[in-house]
Chains A and B, each alone.
Chain A
Amino acid sequence: MIRVSDISYSYMPGREVLHGVTTSFPENKVTTIIGPNGCGKSTLLKICADILTPSSGSVTLDDVDIRTFKPKELARKIAILSQKELALDETVYELVSYGRYPHQRYGAGLSPLDKERIESAMETTHVAEFRNRMLSQLSGGQRQRVYIAMAIAQDTGIILLDEPTTYMDISVRFEIMELVRSLQQSGKTIVMVLHDIDLALDYSDHILVMKDGNLVLEGTSEDIIASRKIDEVFNVRMSILDHDERQIYHFDKR
C-alpha cells in the first residue's frame, strides 16, 4: 500500500503547492484525486512515482520509502501515465514494448515473456490491430489506450494515471473508465487524477478531494456526496437526480 506522510512541495522557493498532505491509497481499489486546477493533484501523483522529490515528508510502499528503491526496481512496482502526450513517431508496438524496459537486463532484447506481456497489454486495451501504425495515425482515444497499454506492459501492482480522460470524447471517457475498472478487477491498485467529478463519483472506490494544496476530504463516493464539500471546493451547486436506478449528477454555477 502507498502511504503519503506529511508531503509538502514547492516548484519555486516560497510558493508551496502541497502543504503537508497525509493519506494512503487502498490496495486493489480505484482511488481518484479531484480538485480545482492548480490544487496540487498531479504534483501529488508525480511525488508518489518519485518523479518529483518532496520538500518534506515521505512516500512509502509497503512501509519502505520509495526513494530507497533503485529506478528499475521502483518501475517494476509503480507505473505512471503522465498527462503529456508522448512521442507520436513510434509505432504502437514500439511504444508498448518500452513498458518492458524495467524488466529487461542491460543490453538484452525482448524475451518471450516480454513479448507475451506486450501482446496481452495490447489485447486488454484493444489496440493490437493497430500494432504497426504510428501514434500520429490514431485518434486521441486510441492513443490514450496505447499509453495505458504501455503502463500495463510495465506489469506493476500500482498504476497512476494523470487525467486519462482529458480532451476525450464522452464515449471514449466511458471506455477508458471501463478499462480502469477492469484493471482494478484484475488485481491492480489504480490511483488517478480526474477533472470529471461525475466520472470520479461513478467509478471510484475511494476519492480524495483537494483544494489549494491541502487534502480537504477523503472517502467513498457516498461520503463525498453526503459531505456537500464538492459545492464548496469547486464553487458549484451539485444536484443529484435519480434516473433508471442510477444517480445523475448535475452542476450549476453558485
Chain B
Amino acid sequence: MLKKELHLNRRLVIIILAGLVILAALLGVCLGAVNVSPLDFIDALIHGETGRMAYRIVMHVRLPRVLGGLLAGGALAVSGCILQSLLQNPLASPNVIGVNGGAGICVLICASFFPAAVSMYPMAAFLGALLTAILVYLISMGSRSSKVTLILTGIAISSITGAGMNFILTVNPDAYVGASDFLIGGLSGLTMKSLRFVWIYILVGLIGAFMLRRELNLIRLGQDTAKSLGLNVPVIRFLLLVFAALLAGAAISFAGMIGFVGLIIPHAMRFIIGHDNIYLVPASALAGSAFVVLCDLVSRTAFSPYELPVGILLAFIGGPFFIYLVVRYRKANRD
C-alpha cells in the first residue's frame, strides 16, 4: 500500500487534466510527418477550402485519430477504474482480466460472418466484453478465489481469446482490414465514419460510471458492508459490469487490443488524488484520453519515417508497470 500518495487539490487536478486533454488534442492534430499550423487549418475551415493540404490532413487523418484516442483512452481508463473497485483487485483492468480479449474475438467473429456490418462491431465487442466480465466476476465471487487466481484466470481467458482471434485470421485472412493493427491495438486508418456510432456507446458508459461513482465507493468496501449501507448490491454490481464492458468493448471495436490504459491511468490518478471515485472516475477519463493521444503522437513521430501502432508503446509502458504493481502488492500483503 502506498503511503506517500499526494492527494493534491482534487478539483484543481481535474481542471488541469481537462487542460491537458485540450493540449494533447491540439498537439495530436498539429504534429506529425507534416506539421500543420492551427491557424492554417482554421483559415481553410472558415474559407471552405477543402482541398487545401492542412484541411485534408486534419480532417481525414489527424482528427479521426485524435478523437479515436480520446474516446479509447477515456473509455479504457474508466473501465479499469470500475473493474478495480468492483473486483476489489488493484491488478484488474480490461486487458489483464480478459475483457479486451472477449471483446476482440467477438469483433472478429462478427467481421467474419457479417463483413458489411461494421456498425455492429461495437455491439459485438460489448457482448463479448460483458460475457467475459460476468464470467470473471462469477469466478472471483463463486470460489472466493484470491486476487492472484483472478488475474491468472484473466490471463488464461486472454490466451484462449488470443488463440481464437489468430485462428479466425488464419482461416479467414480477409476477415478484418488491418488485422495486425487490430491485434496489437492502433489508431492508424481511423476515419470519422468508423467513429460514427461508437461514441454513443462510450458516452452511455461514461455517464453510467459517472452516475454510479458514489456506489462504486461503497462496492469497494465489500458486499456485506455495501448492503448494510443500503446499496442494492446485485443491481448496482450488474450495472457497473455493463458499463465497464460497454466502455472496454466500444474502445476495442475500433482501436483494437489496446492494453494497460485501464491499469496505468487509475493507479496514477489514485496516487495523485486518492481513492475517492467521485473524483477518480472523471480524472481517469480525462487522463486516459490525454495519455492515449500523447502516446499515439509519440508512436507515430518518434521513429519517423516508421510508425508504431500505439498498442506497442502502451505494452512497453504497461508491462513493466504491471510487474511493479504485482511486486508492490505482494510486498504489501507480506508486510
Residues of chain A whose beta carbon lies under 8 Å from any beta carbon of chain B: 46, 49-51, 71-76, 78-80, 82, 84, 86-91, 94, 98-99, 101-102, 104, 107, 132, 134, 136-137, 154
In the docked arrangement, what's the CA distance between A101 and B215, Å? 9
Cβ contacts under 8 Å, A72 to chain B: 230
Name the residue of chain B whose CB is nearest to the CB of A160.
Answer: B228
Known: A51-B224, A86-B221, A89-B1. A101 touches B275 (CB 8 A): no
In the docked arrangement, what's the CA distance between A51 and B225, Å? 9
In the docked arrangement, what's the CA distance between A46 and B225, Å? 11
Contacts A/B (CB < 8 Å), 7 sampled = A51-B224, A51-B228, A71-B232, A78-B228, A101-B218, A104-B214, A107-B211
Known: A72-B230, A88-B1. A82 touches B276 (CB 8 A): no
Known: A71-B230, A102-B229, A137-B3. A46 touches B224 (CB 8 A): yes
Cβ contacts under 8 Å, A104 to chain B: 214
In the docked arrangement, what's the CA distance between A46 and B227, Å? 11
Cβ contacts under 8 Å, A134 to chain B: 1, 3, 5
The answer on a CB contact under 8 Å between B221 and A87 is yes
Further 6 A-B residue pairs, CB within 8 A, beyond A86-B221, A104-B214? A49-B228, A73-B230, A86-B225, A101-B218, A102-B229, A134-B5
The answer on a CB contact under 8 Å between A89 and B275 is yes
The answer on a CB contact under 8 Å between B217 and A98 is yes
Residues of chain B whose beta carbon lies under 8 Å from any beta carbon of chain A: 1, 3, 5, 7, 88, 211, 214, 217-218, 220-222, 224-225, 227-232, 270, 274-276
Q: Which 8 A-B pairs have the closest CB atoms?
A: A75-B230, A72-B230, A102-B230, A89-B275, A80-B228, A71-B230, A101-B229, A136-B1
The answer on a CB contact under 8 Å between B276 and A94 is yes
In the docked arrangement, what's the CA distance between A183 and B218, Å? 25
Cβ contacts under 8 Å, A75 to chain B: 228-230
In the docked arrangement, what's the CA distance between A221 and B330, Å? 46
In the docked arrangement, what's the CA distance between A211 and B218, Å? 34
In the docked arrangement, what's the CA distance between A158 and B214, Å? 24
In the docked arrangement, what's the CA distance between A98 and B230, Å? 11
In the docked arrangement, what's the CA distance between A80 and B227, Å? 10
In the docked arrangement, what's the CA distance between A74 and B230, Å? 7
Cβ contacts under 8 Å, A74 to chain B: 230
Name the residue of chain B whose CB is nearest to the CB of A147.
Answer: B225
The answer on a CB contact under 8 Å between B220 and A154 is no
Cβ contacts under 8 Å, A136 to chain B: 1, 3
The answer on a CB contact under 8 Å between B1 and A76 is no
Residue among B218, B230, B231, B274 with the highest chain A CB neighbour number at 10 A = B230
In the docked arrangement, what's the CA distance between A194 and B276, Å? 33
Name the residue of chain A whose CB is nearest to the CB of B88.
Answer: A87
The answer on a CB contact under 8 Å between B222 and A98 is no
Known: A89-B1, A91-B274, A136-B1. A98 touches B218 (CB 8 A): yes
In the docked arrangement, what's the CA distance between A89 and B266, Å? 14
Nearest chain A CB to B152 CB, angstrom units: 23
Name the residue of chain B whose CB is nearest to the CB of A75.
Answer: B230
The answer on a CB contact under 8 Å between A82 and B230 is no
Known: A75-B229, A107-B211. A84 touches B275 (CB 8 A): no
Cβ contacts under 8 Å, B220 to chain A: 87
Nearest chain B CB to A122 CB, angstrom units: 17
Contact for B224 among A82, A87, A107, A137, CB less than 8 A: A82
In the docked arrangement, what's the CA distance between A154 and B224, Å? 15
